[in-house]
Amino acid sequence: MLSWFFKVGTRLTIRLTDHNLSRKDHSALYVSSHVCMAEVNILMMSLGHIRIMTAEFTKTIPFFNIPVKALDPIYVSRGKKNPNTPSPVTLLKQSIAETKYRHLIFPEGTYTNGKTLIRFKSGAFVLGIPVTPVIFHYPKYVPFWNRKESNILVQFYRLMSQVYTPVRIEILPTYHPSQEEINNPKIYAANVREYMGFHARRPLSDKSLQDSPNYQLDVQAKS
């Protein structure tokens, strides 16, 4: 129902390009660039249910928090961590081992405007397992959401006000890490970012999650 609502309400036109020989070649873990709030649904329309990792703030967004909760995501807290709470990496490892679903992480950790790839966090790569990179291309309209500049209703209105929003999903060949990358998640993250940047034809930025206005808003709310 949620996927149908996004597709009809926002007039999304989706084209999928998969560079793997078959779905069986996909990893249990997708890593993706992140531009807008609809991307999880866009991917699930094409691939079926995927368990996501999402920022804890989504629990507090009216209306939007209901479908997010229905996805049974792994919530990630920004700012000061609770030492009594399992780490996101631990939760991800348990979920991959115990469920049949594939999982999705946005290693940039926040929305970007899609012009560059900012630095990847290493958490998605600590497990040392293969990852299947996913790139979202928006040839007509880039629905970037800066929460300091607009709320979710404004963002959704902008999507609906388009005659249509074409999206191309590009699934790159699954990336199998070397032993060096398995031993060093930071190297693994950096190499996957270069791999995705090359195929997406996007430059790599020196910016990181901490530079994002969305991240700063979350940290300020918790201080």
CATH of the domain at 95: 3.40.1130
Neighbour count for residue 7 (Cβ, 10 Å): 16
d(CA 178, CA 182) in angstroms, rounded, equals: 6
Quick one: pLDDT at residue 8? 45
Q: Strands (DSSP E) along the chain, which ranges?
A: 12-18, 29-32, 50-55, 74-76, 102-105, 132-137, 165-171
- Please compute the mean of the pLDDT values over residues 105-122 and round it to a whole number: 90
Are the C-beta atoms of 88 and 123 separated by less than 8 Å?
yes
- Over residues 192-205, the pLDDT tens digits come to 999 999 999 999 99
Please give the single-letter amino acid code of residue 193.
R
| Weakest-pLDDT range from 80-89, 109-118, 135-144 | 80-89
Predicted local confidence at residue 21, as pLDDT: 93
Residue 5 in contact with residue 160, Cβ under 8 Å? no
Q: What is the mean pLDDT of residues 85-106?
A: 89
Q: β-strands 102-105, 29-32: how paired?
A: parallel
pLDDT reported for residue 108: 92
Residue type, 86: P
pTM over 0.95, yes/no: no
Pairing of strands 12-18, 50-55: unpaired
Total count of domains within the chain? 1
- Please check the confidence at residue 4 and state whether its pLDDT lies above 50: no
Report the C-alpha gap between 65 and 155 in whole angstroms: 15
- What's the mean per-residue pLDDT of the chain? 83
Report the pLDDT averaged over residues 33-56. 84
Residues spanned by the domain of 27: 2-222
Measured CA to CA, the distance from residue 223 to residue 79 in angstroms comes to: 9
Assess whether pLDDT exceeds 80 at residue 164: no
